[in-house]
Amino acid sequence: MKDRFNLYRFASPATFYPFAGTLIPYFVAVSVVFGLAGLWLGMLVAPTDFQQGEGYRIIFIHVPASWMSMFIYLVMAGWAAIGLAFNTRLSGMMAQALAPTGALMAFLSLLTGALWGKPMWGAWWVWDARLTSELILLFLYIGYMALTAAIDDPRRADKAGGLLLLVGVVNIPIIYFSVKWWNTLHQGSSVNLAKSSMATTMLWGMLLMAMCFWMYSIAVALMRVRTIMLERERHTDWVKAELLGKAGEEK
């Protein structure tokens, strides 16, 4: 019965589950609206970059994907801190639901970085400080997912994963500065993917795309957390009611 007590104390899955279900379509809709607006500004209106030609338009996905990959890791670490401090069930589920999306964002950031690097640097991969840090971030995501997948007991998986996230978050600045230092010692890349001198339309396009990615991430994470909730809470009454009541209904 201790489980039940913790369960209902903060955010109980029984109330969060339907709540998330109603929210998902709104996040999807908002994401599509932001995405269309961002694409319109970025791909149709924004002028050519004087240095990088039209190739710079990759930033409209590269930068949002990079931001999201870092932001999602921070959010996961935030959930982990809440989970370890207050022993809430929801936090571990949220962290696990966010991880694959964060890893995909890191992957997208690397992929678009490579596609940008080929015409600009003449190579698919350059050991640039940002790309290298992004790669290490992807490793951290993979480590987290591997650890939580290897632990059968969900409570232990949540806690061990949460601790790993906190250790990772402490290490990320150290890793970033060491990689940056290493990079300046060995070589400096002249062209940079996100420059500060940008036309306002470019900046707005990028921000709109970032909002689109953000809302998308929330929607997918909520979808994933609902499945995790059903799985984890399968012995509770509300899940049984959910399964029997809404027979076969699918969102």
Name the residues that contact other proteins, by CB under 8 A. Answer: 43-48, 53-55, 57-58, 61-62, 65, 100-101, 104, 107-108, 111-112, 115-116, 118-119, 136, 139-140, 142-143, 146-147, 150-151, 155-156, 159-160, 163-164, 166-168, 170-171, 174-175, 178-179, 181-182, 185, 216, 219-220, 223-224, 226-227, 230-231, 234, 239-240, 243-244, 250
Residue placing its CB nearer to other proteins in the complex, 186 or 197: 186
Smallest gap from Cβ 207 to other proteins, in A, equals: 17
Say if residues 249 and 18 touch (Cβ distance below 8 Å): no
Min dist. Cβ of residue 159 to other proteins (A): 4
CB nearer to other proteins: give 152 or 197: 152
- For other proteins, give the closer residue by CB, 60 or 90: 60
Contact 181, 132 (CB under 8 A): no
Would you call 55 helix, strand, or coil by DSSP? helix
Quick one: tokens of 114? Answer: 């490579």
| Nearer of residues 15 and 171 to other proteins, judged by Cβ | 171
CB 68 within 8 A of CB 105: yes
Q: Are 208 and 33 in contact (CB under 8 A)?
A: no
Distance CA 231, CA 199 (A): 48
Q: Which residues contact 195 (CB under 8 A, 6 or more apart)?
A: 51
Helix 200-232 crosses helix 89-121 at what angle (to 10 degrees)?
140
- Encoded tokens for 174: 């150290």
Q: Closest distance between other proteins and the C-beta of residue 7, in Å?
A: 17
Q: Cα separation of 95 and 81, whole Å? A: 10
The distance of closest approach from Cβ of residue 147 to other proteins in the complex, given in angstroms and rounded to an integer, is 6
Cα torsion angle, 73, 104, 24, 161, sign: negative
At its nearest, how many Å lie between other proteins and the CB of residue 139? 4
Least separation in angstroms between CB 12 and other proteins:
19
Judge contact between 224 and 100, C-beta under 8 A.
yes
Which lies closer to other proteins via its Cβ, residue 12 or residue 168? 168
Return the number of the residue (57 or 89) whose C-beta is nearest other proteins. Answer: 57
Closest separation in Å from C-beta 181 to other proteins = 7
Chain center to CA of 113: 17
Q: Which one, 78 or 143, has the nearer CB to other proteins? A: 143
